[in-house]
Amino acid sequence: MEQTQPDFQRIAQHSADIYFRLHFREGLAYVSPGFEAALGYAAEECLHQAQVFSQLIDGSSQDEFESAMSMLRSHAQPSITSVVKLRCKDGGLIWAELFGIAVENDVGDVVGIDGVARDVSEHLQVTELLSRHTHEQQVLLNVQRDLWSKLDLKQTCDLIVNESQRFLKADSCILLLTETDGITLRALSAMGDVTTKQLPQIVRIGEGLLGRVVQLGAPQRLEGRSVSGGQLRDEAGKTVLVAPLQLEGQVTGALIAQGNAVALGQADLKFLESISQAAAKAIDNSRSFQEVRRQASIDGLTGAFNRRFFESNLVNELGRADRLGYAVGLLFVDVDDLKVINDNHGHLVGDDVLRSLVKLLKRKLRETDWVARYGGDEFAVVLPGCSADQLELLAGRLKKSLATLKVDLPNGDRLPVSFSIGGSVYPESVSVTENLVAAADNAERAAKLAGGNRIVIHRSHLDRRQRSSGDSA
């Protein structure tokens, strides 16, 4: 292989760029001072060692480098230009723009290259930063547009968390929102590699490290940390980004991203802050809409759900029952002689009877059960997962509790009240929604016509035969 020409060497010795001659079989035959300055390797560490140069090429650039070398060897082109990542001695990486021309032996075979590589990391970082900024603004605009089109609170929160995790490439993202007390935060949405154990169930603003970070109201990047069970824990190599959600100076939640310490930097924290600002108003709009919708579903006098909600939600309840394979019980509870109470004691006392009834029902029922005002003095109680036999037992317990109900009269006396109860079960006794409502309502009417203060449970003919057979056994 011929020696490096004096003019070439003179230029190389005074340049900050990396000049080199690479022999495909023998390795590097020459490196300039710029080689050591850029990569940290002294010439004696690299010269005349096969494969050293290829080992300096980062894995992400290997295919491109090998392809360029193949083009030279095959005489497809006399020179190559490529941008590759080079590994530094300290473990870092630089982007280098590589230019090389073929070196041939006496018979015309390409046996190496003369090359120069220029560090373009800073240029690419600026380009990447501009590209990221453009992409970030586009994501924020898209998210903001989508947020304003959503009024469902859960959908809003899921969109925020999903887009944050996707853009940041974080291991996981979690959104916490404040409860009505203004200090308790609960996780409403989470995406990515996050387990139930890691998911913060309850965080109180100002309590614990995470609660204090949220209380500060400013975005924080916490290295060597991860979130587990509502606590910030030490974990090497991990980073947690916390961006509080604020509305009119009040903390209303927090958006959290966690992942690799190298991957989540200050630029990512700025993005999380930007999206949290857009999220705070969108979530407030969703909450306001949810409250309006809730108020539209509530009976103003008693606090039970209204008839419109009952009719629409019962269909959904029975649909879930069909998918999951469980029964749904329905009771109708009617106040006996409410007109007499209104006529004798006034409508305020009658209203108090209705409110007291709903309050007692809510106290005695399970969390999954719900109460709706079906008519003036008639209330529907929906009981998911309740069979016909369980419905009779539950109705009996409710009647016993209702027997203790008394309301205060203006003269200081206490008025006892009785109730008629009717019920049916889907799909044991009836097979369609309309029949369930009609059967339970008719059963309640039958109880009332029989004198009131009693229970009637509707059963299908097949259900009654099976029950009779079981009783005789």
For the chain, the structural domain boundaries read 6-119, 125-296, 307-472
Q: What is the pLDDT of residue 469?
A: 33
Q: Is the CB of residue 258 less than 8 Å from the CB of residue 231?
A: no
Q: In the numeric block, which tokens belong to residue 351?
A: 């209203």
Q: What is the pLDDT of residue 328?
A: 94
Q: Do domains 6-119 and 125-296 have the same CATH topology?
A: yes
Q: What is the pLDDT of residue 198?
A: 66
Tens of pLDDT along the chain (473 residues) come to 444 454 667 778 888 899 999 998 889 999 999 998 999 999 888 898 878 888 899 888 888 888 888 888 888 888 888 888 899 998 888 888 889 999 999 999 999 999 999 888 776 655 555 556 666 677 777 776 777 667 777 888 888 899 899 888 899 999 988 888 888 888 888 888 876 666 766 788 888 888 888 888 899 999 998 888 778 888 888 999 999 998 888 888 899 999 987 788 888 898 888 888 888 888 887 777 666 666 778 898 999 999 988 998 899 889 888 888 899 999 999 999 999 999 999 999 999 999 999 999 999 998 889 999 999 999 999 999 999 889 999 999 999 999 999 999 988 899 999 999 999 999 988 888 789 999 999 999 999 999 999 999 998 754 544 443 333 22
Q: What is the pLDDT of residue 468?
A: 37
User: How open is the CA angle 53-58-62, to the nearest 5 degrees?
Assistant: 80
CA distance 41 to 32: 11
The class level of CATH for 125-296 reads alpha beta
H/E segment holding residue 136 = helix 121-148
Q: Which of 247, 336, 242, 249 is nearest to 287 (CA)?
A: 247
Q: What is the pLDDT of residue 8?
A: 63
Q: What amino acid is encoded at 21 in this protein?
A: R
Q: Which of 94, 271, 253, 85 is nearest to 170 (CA)?
A: 271
Strands 27-31 and 406-408: unpaired
Matching CATH number, 6-119, of 3.40.50.1000, 3.30.450.20, 3.30.930.10, 3.40.50.2300? 3.30.450.20
| Domain covering 307-472, topology | Alpha-Beta Plaits (3.30.70)
Q: What is the pLDDT of residue 28?
A: 92
Q: What is the dihedral of CA 357, 361, 364, 365, to 10 degrees?
A: 180
- The label of the residue with tokens 């300039």 reads 32
Q: What is the pLDDT of residue 228?
A: 80
Q: What is the pLDDT of residue 417?
A: 95
CA distance 162 to 190: 8
Beta strands in 172-249 (DSSP E): 172-178, 184-192, 203-204, 220-228, 231-247
Q: What is the pLDDT of residue 125?
A: 58
Identify the DSSP state of 367.
T
HSE toward the beta carbon, residue 257, CA cutoff 13 A: 32
CA distance 109 to 332: 96
Q: In the numeric block, which tokens belong to residue 360?
A: 């007692």
Of the chain, the end-to-end C-alpha distance in Å amounts to 105
pTM: 0.46
Q: How many helices and strands, by DSSP H and E, does the chain display?
A: 14, 18
Q: Is the CB of residue 376 less than 8 Å from the CB of residue 427?
A: no
